[in-house]
Amino acid sequence: MKSAKDFFNGLASSWDEICQHDMDKVEFILNLVGIQQGSKVLDVGTGTGVLIPSLYRRTTSLGHIKAIDLAEKMIEIAQEKNKYDNVEFECGDVLEGNGDQASYDHIICYSSFPHFQCKATAIAKLSQKLKKGGKLTICHSQSREMINHLHQRSADPVKGDNLPAMEIIRQYYHRAGLKVLKEVDDQAMFVLIGGSFQ
């Protein structure tokens, strides 16, 4: 069976045509997150880098953005599209290794969280990368119902990838020591923002 990495590499060149993002909703979500000038941000599952210009406008050149993705062809396109001095690109699994501990003001999983196979573990490991007072955000510019419907209709290996109910993810946040700060779960979007106070 094709791996998730192979699946996304195979779609990378046409991803921006296949996957349309409502940037007004993306901007609304990032405004909720409250990223400040000079912030250090980890963009998890960056894909072709759809968030990077919006993140850069908020962090400015005083901040730092690390964009990570499993699929090297996605990273290649993201790098081509986004020429900023303070953006670092990495191809790899964000959950592997113990680097970046307590490093980030913000960790954002935009349109990527369903693809983590062990979601509780993912949240626990990502939370360890937050500075005290940092925020972990899981978000989509579509509803949870629509995201899950799209994946169910998709090909393997993402067919079984789902976005759990808000109450389940909220429990994962609490177990990881994150305080839930903001929730939106409606027909327009899904957003869960949690803060680290450890």
pLDDT tens-digit profile of 26-61?
999 999 999 999 999 999 999 999 999 999 999 999
The residue length of the chain stands at: 198
- The pTM for the full model equals 0.95
Alpha-carbon span 77 to 12, nearest angstrom: 8
Share of the chain above pLDDT 90, in %: 80
For residue 1, pLDDT over 60 is answered with no
- Determine the topology of domain 20-196 in CATH: Rossmann fold (3.40.50)
Alpha-carbon span 101 to 96, nearest angstrom: 12
Q: Are 67 and 52 in contact (CB under 8 A)?
A: yes
Q: Model confidence at 4, in pLDDT bands (50, 70, 90)?
A: confident
C-alpha triplet 133, 25, 156: angle, nearest 5°: 90
Q: Model confidence at 97, in pLDDT bands (50, 70, 90)?
A: confident
